[in-house]
């Protein structure tokens, strides 16, 4: 964790003009000042930054503690959600604000201990989806999750939920625990036929991430999105190291994993070259500087890449 003075110093060094500049620091300050009852003006929480290619508004996130072992969670605005899967929450969550909008978070990230995908957890996910999106017809989501459960060779566990009350969306992140590639049945479900653009887009992102998926030192999550109009026809892969930077005996493994994702990002032009150059050395400039995750999404109109990093 770094304080605001250190953040300003890093931005003024000019070492990371695209990933951390004066504009980023000002946006963080604006969020802190908008919520003086929650944040210290000097920044006393872990900070995450998300930048997207093609360009979308940047997001700035902060870590909060979460009670564990109970079936409820409180959102930033005070809303209390109840659901059986919340019993398996990890002890922290991340709250992200979009630049230019300091009053209300754009999304909240909830992280889970491994929760197997089966009928009871699928039902719980669909109940939560209705609560967040306002859409009571979750039949397509149920069908998709049942499909994943039924593919015996592929094992999936609930790992992350990204909730947005503002956009009425939920993104469900499923950790792919086996070392096999994603079934083509998933592409067919999202894209209907092999000659459709969305089928080909989902297949394409799967093919270029296959090497990362099959390497045990990497961790991969599949993300599916549902909003107020229904299941979004796209497929996303979250790519990040299995081991933390600080884990004893695994620092080199972590570094190699980050390097693999960065190299793939350059080879397949997932991110602008300047971002790739900067993220490749990001973890070197401060002990708490961390690479988070690269999320590659296959969409109807092409690919989108989100880069998450911070302190």
pLDDT in tens, 170-223: 999 999 887 778 888 999 999 878 889 999 999 999 999 999 988 999 999 999
3 within 8 A of 44, measured Cβ to Cβ? yes
Residue 82, classed as helix, strand or coil, is: strand
In total, how many domains does the chain have?
Answer: 1
The average pLDDT across 226-240 equals: 97
Range of the domain at 217: 4-310
Residue 116, classed as helix, strand or coil, is: strand
| CA 235 vs CA 52, 199, 223, 302, 304: distances in Å | 16, 9, 6, 11, 10
pLDDT in tens, 10-67: 999 999 999 999 999 999 999 999 999 999 988 989 999 999 999 999 999 999 999 9
């Amino acid at each position: 964790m770094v304080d605001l003075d250190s953040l300003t110093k890093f931005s003024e060094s000019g070492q990371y003009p695209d990933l951390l500049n004066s504009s980023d620091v000002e946006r963080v300050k604006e969020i802190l000042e908008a919520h003086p009852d929650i944040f210290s003006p000097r920044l006393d929480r872990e900070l995450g930054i998300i930048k997207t290619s093609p360009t979308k508004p940047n997001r700035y996130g902060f870590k909060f503690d979460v009670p564990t072992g109970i079936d409820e969670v409180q959102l930033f605005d005070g809303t209390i959600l109840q659901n059986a899967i919340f019993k398996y929450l990890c002890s922290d969550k991340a709250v992200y604000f979009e630049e230019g909008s300091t009053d209300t978070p754009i999304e909240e990230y909830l992280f889970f201990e491994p929760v197997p995908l089966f009928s009871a957890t699928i039902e719980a996910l669909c109940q939560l989806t209705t609560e967040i999106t306002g859409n009571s017809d979750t039949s397509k989501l149920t069908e998709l999750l049942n499909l994943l459960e039924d593919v015996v060779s592929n094992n999936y566990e609930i790992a992350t939920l990204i909730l947005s009350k503002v956009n009425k969306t939920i993104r469900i992140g499923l950790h792919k625990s086996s070392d096999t590639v994603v079934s083509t049945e998933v592409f067919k479900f999202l894209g209907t036929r092999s000659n459709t653009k969305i089928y080909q887009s989902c297949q394409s992102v799967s093919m270029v991430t296959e090497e990362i998926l099959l390497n045990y030192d990497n961790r991969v999550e599949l993300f599916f999105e549902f909003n107020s109009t229904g299941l979004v026809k796209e497929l996303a892969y979250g790519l990040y190291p299995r081991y933390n930077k600080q884990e004893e005996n695994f620092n080199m493994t972590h570094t190699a994993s980050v390097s693999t994702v960065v190299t793939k990002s350059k080879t397949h032009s997932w991110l602008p070259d300047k971002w790739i150059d900067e993220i490749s050395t990001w973890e070197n400039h401060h002990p708490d500087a961390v690479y988070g995750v690269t999320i590659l999404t296959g969409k109807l109109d092409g690919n989108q890449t989100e880069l998450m990093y911070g302190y």
